Structure formats: structure tokens, C-alpha cells
Chains A and B, each alone.
Chain A
Amino acid sequence: MIRGYFSTQGTRRRPFIDAILQFPTLNSHSLDVKLLVDTGADRTLLSPLDAGRFVRRCALDLTTLPHGARSTGVGGQSATRVLETVLILDTLSLPILLTILDPPPGPMPHIPSLLGRDVLSHFALFVEKRTNRVLLLEAHEADALPV
């Protein structure tokens, strides 16, 4: 079982899970992130803010990465890049193709990084604000539930 938490910003409490992203093609550099659990996101997404935390350290030029599919949200479409990544959640590690949102022109939006359905689909998701529980259950744990 992977345990997340509710984090508060402003007056809102949102479900997050902490993770490490490791980049095998970048000398195994890694990045610690808190990911917003987003069942509406097709893919796990790295926000421009979180990308900014590691690009300087590993001297990465994001424009050298291959383009990904355009990302569509309520605010419109954005270009993306993709990067082979190993997502580490507690004792589990999953290879994913990480989508990195291109920084938009102008002020940087305060968008969090997202844990999308490419990862969530491996688990049963339990989210309950009342008890502050955000849980990812592995198949054998979900199968044992009396539901």
C-alpha cells in the first residue's frame, strides 16, 4: 500500500503522493516531487515549476527532448516534451514516459505536477477527505477488500 496525504493550499485540501523521479538517460539524476492525484490526467505530468528545480542541476535543455502529445486542460492547450523516467513510490518502481509541460510565455502558472492514470491504473485508489486518507492499493490488497 502506498500512502499519500491531503495538502492544503489557500482554503483547499488536495490529495498528493510523494515520489522520486529517476531519469536513466540523464546519468540517473533524480527529482523529489509531490504529485497531485488526478484521475482526469491521462499521463503523469511534470509541471514547469518542478522541471525548473532539476534542469539547471543536470544542465538539461528541455528543448532537446522529443515532443509529446499536446496537453489539453481547461485553460487551453500546451506543448509538451517526454522523458523516460522511473517513478519510485515507496518500495515500488515503475518505468513511465514522463510528460513535461513546456513553460508557457509570461508568468509561471502555479500548476502542480500530476500523478495520472498511466500510473493510477496499476492500483486501486482510495481517497477519503474525512479521514485524510489517500491510498494506492496493490491488486492483492484490493482483492482482499470486502466490497
Chain B
Amino acid sequence: MHELQAELQRFKQDTQYYEAHREDLLKQYPEQWVAIFNQQVVGAAPDFDQLLRALEQSDMPAEQTLIEHVTYKDELLILWS
């Protein structure tokens, strides 16, 4: 459990990194999927599956990586399940 809590803290730092650097990421990777791990961009691709394959090839743990679609576009979400 302690390891998972430490991992959650690490992941939270990655989501904070994304929020803090979103504007820069928008300029550098507009309309792309971006992977962040340990507060670093570890991959980017226009297609989600392409990015997953790249992460796999570079032995990055996709299940622990923050993947965001960096976009200027406005999308309205109305969800329930």
C-alpha cells in the first residue's frame, strides 16, 4: 500500500507538471497526444495508438504515464453512465 501511495504522489506531480506547462505544450505539440512521466515529456504523437506503441518500444510504463490531448479546440462534454 505504501508503494502505491508513493506512486500516486509521483503521478500527481505529473498532472501538476501538465497544468503548469500546458501553454508551452500547446505551442510545442499542438493537437497532439503528449505523454508525461516523472515531470518530463517522454513522447508525443498525433494519434493515441501511435503514442502507446512508441511508449511500448521505449519501455515506458504506459499505465503510469499521464497522456493528454493538447488542444486549443473546445469540446463540450455532457456525460453520465
Give complex CA distance A30, B7 in Å: 10
Give complex CA distance A101, B80 in Å: 12
Q: Which of B38-73 contact A (CB under 8 A)?
A: 48-49, 52, 56, 61-69, 71-73
Q: A34-B15, A53-B52 are in contact. Are A20 and B81 (CB under 8 A)?
A: no
Residues of A close to B16: CB separation below 8 A: 5
> Are A32 and B74 in contact, with the CB atoms below 8 A?
no
Residues of A close to B29: CB separation below 8 A: none
Residues of A close to B79: CB separation below 8 A: 36, 38, 40-41, 73-74, 111, 114
Count of A interface residues, CB-CB < 8 Å: 48
Q: Which of B1-22 contact A (CB under 8 A)?
A: 1, 4-5, 7-8, 11-12, 15-16, 18-19, 22
Across the A-B interface, how many residue pairs have beta carbons closer than 8 Å? 110
Which of A12, A57, A71 interacts with B61 by CB under 8 Å? Answer: A57
> Are B66 and A42 in contact, with the CB atoms below 8 A?
no
In the assembled complex, the CB of B43 is this many whole angstroms from the nearest CB of chain A, namely 12
> Are A52 and B73 in contact, with the CB atoms below 8 A?
no
Residues of B close to A56: CB separation below 8 A: 52, 56, 62
